[in-house]
Structure 1
Amino acid sequence: MESEICLWRHDGSVEVVHRGTGRIEAPNWCADGSLLVNAEGRLWRLAPGADRLTPVETGFATQLNNDHVPSPDGQVIAISDKAETGASCIYLVPAAGGAPHRLTAQLPSWMHGWSPDGRRVVYAGARDGGPVGIYLAEVETGDETCVTAGFDHADGPDFSADGRWIWFNGERDGAVDIWRIRPDGTTPERMTDGPGVDWFPHPSPDGRHVVHLRYPPGTQGHPADLDVALWLLPQAGGEGREIVRFRGGQGSLNVPCWAPDSSSFAFVRYPA
């Protein structure tokens, strides 16, 4: 199969910055302009203008899934890997690569975002046979708090740049919509309400927009290789609009993906 790493810009244009064989997933945009992606259970970097991916050393962590995010200060990368534990666990590795340091004690945990001050991570987790929910952990101590309740499934969390909201996709009564909630677990607000199945919301750094993935009505979970669309919402609330349609899904937009100046974001599509 073929993967295309793409950049969407506010004029509606889409630029393909890398084409590769195999499944490449989940681009993060780093402060230096490089992109981090997942492929073959490893972490890779695409430097600006480069035509090849270069590996990022992650020690024993060689069964990464596509949940990885650089810290706000750019010093470390949080990754999700199961090589040591058998289920997804969150680790921190130096941004230049190196040995993983375990962060989450409980499993499974899938990394999704950082608080703007870098003191906490927000992630999806399943505990004691319960549904997948949204959790916060202190980076210094690993102490964990669940911030969602009353959802059949909650996933894909990402902080707003001001730290006041956690955006996520939440399922209730068979409907999967975009929600936001305060970091203390109060004031949940539904931000989409339609027949589509909405996943992976990512607020822009300038506080204006949220991009998210929309699956066709009736889609179960977040599968790969479907006809999907990206939608853009105002962060303050209101009607969204479709901005691009393509073949993708799982792997296309799992992690924070905006450029630091909010001029564009990265996603992956998979041509048939």
Structure 2
Amino acid sequence: MLGDGDLDLSAVYQFARAHETAKAADISLKLESDITATAQEQIEKAGKELQKITDVRTNSSSILCTYDLASGRVTALKRFDHVIEAPNWMKDGSLLYNDGGHLFRYYMDSRKIVPVDTGFCINCNNDHVPTQDNRYVFVSHMTFDSGFNSLVYRIPLDLEEGQKAEPVQVTKKGPSFLHGVSPDGKEAAYCAFRNYDPVTGKALADIYIHPTEGGQEKGLTDHQGFNDGPEYSMDGKNIWFISTRTGLMQVWKMDRDGSNQTQMTFEDQNNWFGHISPDGKYVVNIAYHKGALDPGEHLSNMNVSLWLMKADGSERHKILDFFGGQGSINVNSWDPGSTKFAFVMYELEHK
């Protein structure tokens, strides 16, 4: 759909994407250099304009929620008039989440919000991961000083009064996008771009691990498809991840050393981010409709669903349809008792 520039472009684009319309634009198609531009030139201009707003979220509000496994009940905890992302369920009953690159804790009992001191890491991506004892949180901190980059850092959470957080760099190479920390806290798993497709020239997304104290990174996947979202099982024996190597994005599992890579989901849809419960019994993931986006895309403000299965892949079923996507459940958000998990719904606020 092409318009004449009478409506807000972001609003039109977000509306079209939410309804899975292939292309939509509402811009003036007159090229300043040539008012007699061909239809193809006009379409190319529209495409360039749309690329600028692929993930614009300035008109979104967020609803922090929990899902109860036994009852299927969704509880809305708090509404925000802006975007928050990726809750983790902490042992003290708080939810750790990202808000504009900063981390905060929402205490469910008191409804109090407390900022987290992350030192110089104030441009964190939505993939923070606390250690199992909650003494540290690992983050991907993005910098733009010499081009886009992202590195993994470890930040202490149990600060004494008056003590300032001092992040410790874990990965030497970037970009690195964290998604998992081993139960013993000695290893981090992340998605990274280190190689390029010799035909297309596109960067290849693979899974890497890195000791949290020195050492070198090690690749676990071999450039087949887009590989992302590595997350350790609570016993440390397996890493759950996602990959497009069979066409659509699907949930996979492998041994901690990268062996025995096994596909775990098979629906005709794009399944993102498999999160294993602390008791090792269940896996929840977010899913996009086939054709709504490219398999390697994980976009915001779309009609998505949550799926649940046992860790062996059995009893798999959809548990919820909602409006969300990027930021809804990027990281493991199970409660310590494996009875609930947290996620974020979104709403568009265009007027």
1:164 corresponds to which letter in structure 2?
Answer: K
Shift of 1:152: 1.3
The aligned residue for residue 140 of structure 1 is 213
CA contact (8 A) 2:276 2:311 kept: yes
Shift of 1:174: 2.8
The aligned residue for residue 320 of structure 2 is 244
1:153 aligns with 2:212: no
Shift of 1:84: 7.2
Shift of 1:151: 2.0
Shift of 1:18: 1.5
1:198 aligns with 2:275: no
The aligned residue for residue 229 of structure 1 is 305
2:65 corresponds to which letter in structure 1?
Answer: C
1:258 aligns with 2:334: yes
Stretch of structure 1 that moved more, 95-104 or 260-269? 95-104
CA contact (8 A) 2:204 2:223 kept: no
Contiguous gaps of at least 5 residues in structure 1: none
The aligned residue for residue 248 of structure 2 is 175
Shift of 1:7: 0.5
The aligned residue for residue 93 of structure 1 is 155
Name the SS of the counterpart of 2:347 in structure 1: coil
Following the alignment from structure 1 to structure 2, what is the Cα–Cα distance between the partners of residues 13 and 250? 22
Shift of 1:150: 4.5
Show CA shifts across 1:80-104 (max 9, x none): 1113764111111111461211110
Shift of 1:15: 0.7
Identity, in percent, stands at 39
1:64 aligns with 2:64: no
- Structure having the larger proportion of residues in strand: 1
CA contact (8 A) 1:104 1:142 kept: no
CA contact (8 A) 1:227 1:247 kept: yes
1:91 corresponds to which letter in structure 2?
Answer: Y
Shift of 1:59: 1.7
- Indicate the structure whose relative CO is greater, using CA pairs within 8 Å and at least 6 residues apart: 1
Show CA shifts across 1:33-86 (max 9, x none): 111100111111112323343211112222111010111121111011113764
Shift of 1:207: 1.2
Following the alignment from structure 2 to structure 1, what is the Cα–Cα distance between the partners of residues 215 and 133? 19
Stretch of structure 1 that moved more, 83-92 or 113-122? 83-92
The verdict on how the C-alpha distance between 1:195 and 1:124 changes in structure 2, with shifts beyond 3 A counting, is: same
Name the SS of the counterpart of 2:329 in structure 1: coil
The aligned residue for residue 77 of structure 1 is 137
The aligned residue for residue 23 of structure 2 is none
The RMSD of aligned alpha carbons is: 1.5
The list of structure 1 runs, each at least 4 consecutive aligned residues, that deviate by more than 4 angstroms after superposition, is none
Following the alignment from structure 2 to structure 1, what is the Cα–Cα distance between the partners of residues 151 and 68? 34
The aligned residue for residue 66 of structure 2 is 7
Number of residue pairs matched?
Answer: 272
Name the SS of the counterpart of 1:26 in structure 2: strand
Name the SS of the counterpart of 1:230 in structure 2: strand
State the TM-score, normalized to the length of structure 2.
0.75
Name the SS of the counterpart of 1:271 in structure 2: strand
State the TM-score, normalized to the length of structure 1.
0.95
Name the SS of the counterpart of 2:127 in structure 1: strand
1:8 corresponds to which letter in structure 2?
Answer: Y
CA contact (8 A) 1:105 1:142 kept: no
